[in-house]
Amino acid sequence: MSVDPRSVAGKTLSVAGHAQLLVIGAGPAGLAAAIEGAQRGLSVVLVDENPVPFETMGESVPLHFGGRVGGVARNRNAMMEAMLESAPDLATAFELGVDVRLGTACWGLYANGANLGWMPGPLAGLADEESGTYLVSFERAIVATGRRDMGLAFPGWEAPGVMGATAAVQLATRYGALAGTRAVVLGTTAEALLAALALRAQGIAVAAVIEQAPAPVGPDDLVAELRAAGVAIRCGEVVRAVETDLDGVRGVTTSAGVLACDLVVLGIGAVPMVDLLDAAGCVLAFDAARGGYAPVLDEAARTSVAVVQAVGDCAGIWPAKSGNVAIAEMEARYAAAVAASALGEAGEAPSAAPPPGEATYDIDAYRKDWVRASVIEAAGEPYVCQCEEVTAREILDVRPPRYLDWQGADNRPRSLASLLGEGPPHPDQIKRLTRAGMGPCQGRRCREQIQALLALQAAVPLDAVPLAGYRAPVRPLPLKAAAPQSEDAAFGEQWDSWFGMPRQWVPFWDVEEEYTVAGLAVEKPHASE
């Protein structure tokens, strides 16, 4: 049987390095994994996208920075120094021989499987400002990418100053680059309360903590600590409007009054950052005790992709873990020991980390109630998807993008059931029909809101709404970055046929040896004629 020369079979990839253990994320969990792996004799590469380029932060990637990044973030050297000072264990990793690559994003993980079998081994796609994009091979990978925060739409939430709790704390504590002085925090989850305390410790005044529920849902000790510090926790309220000036937020109007502030910190739901895991093909499931969609792991933190493990917040978020970094570090050391054992480096295994236990509050009801009170009952129609400017009504009516000029042209009733059929609505269907979630932030600010909207509309729990899929690259890259630095000549020989879509149904043996897309309008005889 002839081999199609236009297939990838037999082609070679340019691979720029190899690691026995690749660790993605240099937070507490990632550093603990890298150090443990190096101490057990493995060659370790540790990558972390921080400090993220200023321009990327402006797109609210990877966190919801909300336009409150101080000017110091433009100075890459100052940001790098601040990161090194905030993580002393980076120096330990260097001393142990770990190949530490900061400012390097991992945009894809690839392993051979049922529908992919031609690669030389597991590969990771990396990108940095100096080298561009490149591939490295690895034998085991530990993903420790952390968490981000659920977005929440209300009138004015697109104004500079509305941001995620994780981003606010990172800017304030790691970089000293939070451009704000007075915050209103939304939500009383453990992560929201810890963020409020962290901001106060950095000199940021906390005007109030706003909670739509009748009582706080976070740990009592954190609630008591904030109240003892004079911070008002106002329950039964939501933000109804944001007052702005030329610099962004200058106050909020809640259902009970007006508060002066220049920061609105969203802490209603910290969610595991699973984009890289999902794009790699790891099985994920909604787990309320772990903060939402999280990877399905065995007792050794292994995912369904045999060579990939997950630790830290990307493997699950719960109050005890958020309040005690040692739990994430225990997860990481145990996972690194398992990886080392699999690679032939034996040693005594460290203690396993304690499991999360039951969820401390009803995440399903809590997130839905916030979306109902803030988004559905909002005055006006705030954009749930800021990037593509899609409202909640347009999502639930499955309206096509506004720029297609559909308004007034089609008055037929539309509904999820009539357009999408039976079964739970899928966010990917909504994305394709409305473009909600297709913007530069890659759905980071809207995907949990869309999940809650669909669950409310269909009267189903959050776990009945499938996860909106992720695809590589999971970080925005310039188009020029997709061009390989070096390429197998066999790839280049077939570019024209790969992109010549009018010929896609013609067998390769019937396609003329040379043709161009520009010349397709001219009839040419097939090579067989």
**Contact assessment for residue 495 and residue 501, using Cβ atoms and an 8 Å cutoff:** no
Higher pLDDT, 125 or 524: 125
What is the rounded distance in angstroms from the CA atom of residue 499 to the CA atom of residue 492?
12
Q: Using CA of residue 121, residue 311, residue 88, residue 176, what is the dihedral sign?
A: positive
Burial of 331 (0-12, 13-18, 19+ CB in 10 A): buried
Q: What is the mean pLDDT of the chain?
A: 89
Average pLDDT over residues 509-514: 62
Tell me the per-residue pLDDT of 259-318, one tens digit each, with 9 for 90 and over.
999 999 999 999 999 999 999 999 999 999 999 999 999 999 999 999 999 999 999 999
Pick from 208, 225, 313: which is nearest to 269 by CA? Answer: 313
What count of residues does the chain have? 529
Give me the domains of the chain, ranges plus CATH numbers: 18-147+271-342 (3.50.50.60)
Tell me the per-residue pLDDT of 300-309, one tens digit each, with 9 for 90 and over.
999 999 999 9
Position 527 scores a pLDDT of 44
Whether residue 525 is predicted with pLDDT greater than 60 in this model: the reply is no
pTM across the whole model: 0.90
Whether residue 526 is predicted with pLDDT greater than 60 in this model: the reply is no
- How many other β-carbons are positioned within 10 Å of the β-carbon of residue 390? 26
What pLDDT band is residue 522 in, cutting at 50, 70 and 90? very low
H/E run at residue 265:
strand 263-266
What is the rounded distance in angstroms from the CA atom of residue 374 to the CA atom of residue 207?
20
Higher pLDDT, 511 or 460: 460
**Contact assessment for residue 369 and residue 212, using Cβ atoms and an 8 Å cutoff:** yes
- Per cent of the chain over pLDDT 70 is 86
Whether residue 5 is predicted with pLDDT greater than 90 in this model: the reply is no
Tell me the per-residue pLDDT of 439-492, one tens digit each, with 9 for 90 and over.
999 999 999 999 999 999 999 999 999 999 999 999 988 777 766 666 777 766
- How many other β-carbons are positioned within 10 Å of the β-carbon of residue 170? 21
DSSP 130-169: TTEEEEEEEEEEEE---EEE-----TTTTSTTEEEHHHHH
What is the rounded distance in angstroms from the CA atom of residue 57 to the CA atom of residue 67?
8
What pLDDT band is residue 7 in, cutting at 50, 70 and 90? confident
What pLDDT band is residue 529 in, cutting at 50, 70 and 90? very low
Average pLDDT over residues 315-342: 97
How far, in Å, are 213, 385, 395, 497 from residue 368 at the CA level?
A: 11, 17, 16, 49
The token duo for 333 is: 């050391």
Residues of 233-262 as b/e, b for ≥16 C-beta within 10 angstroms?
Answer: bbeebbbbbbebeeebbbbbbbeeeebebb
Pairing type for strands 205-211 and 182-186 reads: parallel
What is the rounded distance in angstroms from the CA atom of residue 390 to the CA atom of residue 381?
9
Looking from the CA of 441 toward its CB, the CA atoms found within 13 Å total 26
Place of tokens 């509050």: 361
- Say whether 365 sits in a helix, a strand or coil: helix
What is the rounded distance in angstroms from the CA atom of residue 403 to the CA atom of residue 490?
41
Position 114 scores a pLDDT of 77
What is the rounded distance in angstroms from the CA atom of residue 415 to the CA atom of residue 399?
9
What is the rounded distance in angstroms from the CA atom of residue 272 to the CA atom of residue 284?
11
Whether residue 513 is predicted with pLDDT greater than 80 in this model: the reply is no
What is the rounded distance in angstroms from the CA atom of residue 282 to the CA atom of residue 280?
6
Average pLDDT over residues 71-88: 94
Residues of 361-373 as b/e, b for ≥16 C-beta within 10 angstroms?
Answer: bebbebbbbbbeb
Position 528 scores a pLDDT of 45
What is the rounded distance in angstroms from the CA atom of residue 83 to the CA atom of residue 95?
17
Position 408 scores a pLDDT of 55
H/E run at residue 248:
strand 248-254
Tell me the per-residue pLDDT of 24-55, one tens digit each, with 9 for 90 and over.
999 999 999 999 999 999 999 999 999 999 99
How far, in Å, are 35, 367, 426, 430, 458 from residue 416 at the CA level?
A: 50, 21, 10, 9, 8
Pick from 136, 141, 173: which is nearest to 42 by CA? Answer: 141
Place of tokens 């409020």: 196
**Contact assessment for residue 281 and residue 304, using Cβ atoms and an 8 Å cutoff:** yes
Whether residue 524 is predicted with pLDDT greater than 70 in this model: the reply is no
- Say whether 202 sits in a helix, a strand or coil: coil
